[in-house]
Chain A
Amino acid sequence: MLYAILCYHDEDFVGSWSKDQDEAVMKKLAVVQENLAKQGRLGPVARLLPTTAAATLRKEDPPLVLDGPYAETKEQLLGFYIVDCKNLDEALDVARDLGAANPGGAYEVRPVGVFRPGGNLT
């Protein structure tokens, strides 16, 4: 079963990390990802640019484009992983491992209904 693990955190806080702090976190996360990849369980991984770079399309008639993220929240969606797990417990374990590497904020663990890996993007 595929799970999307959605990373939420305070963007202001993450944006205030020094370069060293940022690199240290990414390095720790890479270890967790490598383990999953070795087991053939890691799908796409994305780190998103700040919400200031986002636009939102409200599906009205005609559709309305707004600046910024979908919702103003204390913590923002900063990235996501697609991981293959047997069940929720296993997905939560992965989230725990990721959380140990990247403290603060929250991971939303969400089962995937339809997954199309798409082309080979770089």
Chain B
Amino acid sequence: MSDTDTAWIETALTSARPQAVGALLRYFRDLDTAEEAFQNACLRALKTWPQNGPPRDPAAWLIMVGRNVAIDEVRRTRKQQPLPEDDQAISDLDDAEGALAERLDGSHYRDDILRLMFICCHPQLPATQQIALALRIVSGLTVKQIARAFLVSDAAMEQRITRAKAKVAEAGTPFEAPGAIERSERLAGVAAMIYLIFNEGYSASGDTAEIRKPLCEEAIRLARLLLRLFQGEPEIMGLTALILLQHARSAARFASDGSLILLEDQNRSLWNGTMIAEGLALIDKAMRHRRSGPYQIQAAIAALHARAATPDETDWTQIDLLYGALEVVQPSPVVTLNRAVAVSKVRGPQAALELIEPLAPKLANYFHFYGVRGAFLMQLGRNDEARIAFDRAIALANTSAEAAHIRMHIDRLIRDSQPHGTNGGTRQGAKAK
């Protein structure tokens, strides 16, 4: 078998994984057993597919084989005597059996995949464990790959996933078919988890962006998968659009020295046009449903940036309104802070400053608050106060890129104490870089 063969089989296994593991989980009602059954089926696939060619329906094949192997395993241990190793009986699945398997599973596969994703975002699991678990059991990344993306040791990641699995087992998995309300609650939970995975990759700094990029790509793959299962859900369209539009800018977000490049300074020709097109198409579709929600609003904001060929063409009035809408459905000081940036463009830095002053107690430890505040003060020519805000921001910076970015402002303050900021470092919090 050639390496390319193996690579293609690996891809087929990856794409079949959520459905197959989801179905096996429904059969065995135990995550470890389901995963093991899937692993065994994969091993057989690697052995038999190169000879017989891949089956027409890899997922059905893997479900069938995984189930049979596991059942044989149980029989074998019960009888306390080894059965003859009979690969042929199981591997010779023809399409007739595949079709049967599909009939068994076709009606279930949506909820199977949703359930598999949903058990990863159990409310008792901290966000980092949710993400790690989802990447392991839904995406099928190896512990090593996940550890690398999270910049921790393999052992630490192994432990994190083991702990998460134990909690999931303890909490119990809901196997009854969900009702409409429950299904939409599960969808919301899974959407939030996918967004967490994306942000984990997106909030990387310049020196780790490349290592963490697979997290963004995987989040996009999962979002598209979820949307395939629930075609008519405007918030899932919004989520998918949002992460596509944000990821579309990835090639323009960091300078060669790893420092962050602000939205308004980015080379827009480096933005990925195909991803932007897909994001815009999804927003168009979502809007028709007239059922707004936080992901759709954030995606619409990202779209306004994406549609502007140059920073000057950005429709800040519309962005201000959209942040206003987001404040209503998802009130948070961070949203208000983002809105203030739009306000500064539309009504000037004084109005923006007044908007964020009341946020100070809530955002006392938030890097972006001081970065934005400093920028407004700088634009107003209140350089001493700006300097204090920037110093505070540096103290709170999470990444070297953030700190470097603020230092650039300070250098500018030192260089020229002009009372009018030019492209003042207005920034958009974590959302728009």
Residues of A within 8 A of B (CB): 10-13, 15-19, 21, 49-53, 55, 65-68, 74, 103-104
Contacts and interface: CB of A to CB of B under 8 A. Distances in A.
B208 interface: no
A65 B57 CA distance: 30
Contact of B228 (A51, A55, A74): A51
A66 B237 CA distance: 14
17 contacts: A12-B225, A13-B11, A15-B225, A21-B7, A49-B278, A49-B281, A50-B224, A50-B278, A52-B231, A52-B240, A53-B278, A55-B285, A67-B231, A67-B237, A67-B285, A74-B57, A104-B8
Contacts, number: 59
Interface string B5-21: 00110011011100000
B15 A52 contact: no
A65 B15 contact: no
Contacts of A17: 11
Nearest to A12: B15
A114 to B, nearest CB: 27
Contacts of B224: 15, 50, 52
Given A16-B11, A52-B237, 20 more contacts: A12-B16, A12-B225, A13-B11, A13-B12, A13-B15, A13-B58, A15-B15, A15-B224, A16-B14, A16-B221, A21-B7, A21-B11, A50-B278, A52-B224, A52-B227, A52-B228, A66-B232, A67-B237, A67-B285, A104-B54
A76 B234 CA distance: 22
Interface string B40-71: 00000000000000101110000000000000
B225 A49 contact: no
B170 to A, nearest CB: 32
Contacts of A16: 11, 14-15, 221
A64 to B, nearest CB: 12
B302 interface: no
B78 interface: no
A122 to B, nearest CB: 11
Contacts of B16: 12
B252 interface: no
A8 to B, nearest CB: 13
A53 B15 contact: no
A10 B58 CA distance: 11
A51 B232 CA distance: 12
Q: Which of A16, A49, A51 has the most CB of B within 10 A?
A: A16
B365 interface: no
Contacts of A12: 15-16, 225, 228
Contacts of A19: 217
B288 interface: yes
B404 interface: no
A110 B376 CA distance: 62
A52 B57 CA distance: 21
Interface string B382-405: 000000000000000000000000
Contacts of B232: 66-68
Q: Which of B221, B228, B282 has the most CB of A within 10 A?
A: B228
Q: Which of A11, A15, A18, A52 has the most CB of B within 10 A?
A: A52
A42 B228 CA distance: 32
A104 B274 CA distance: 24
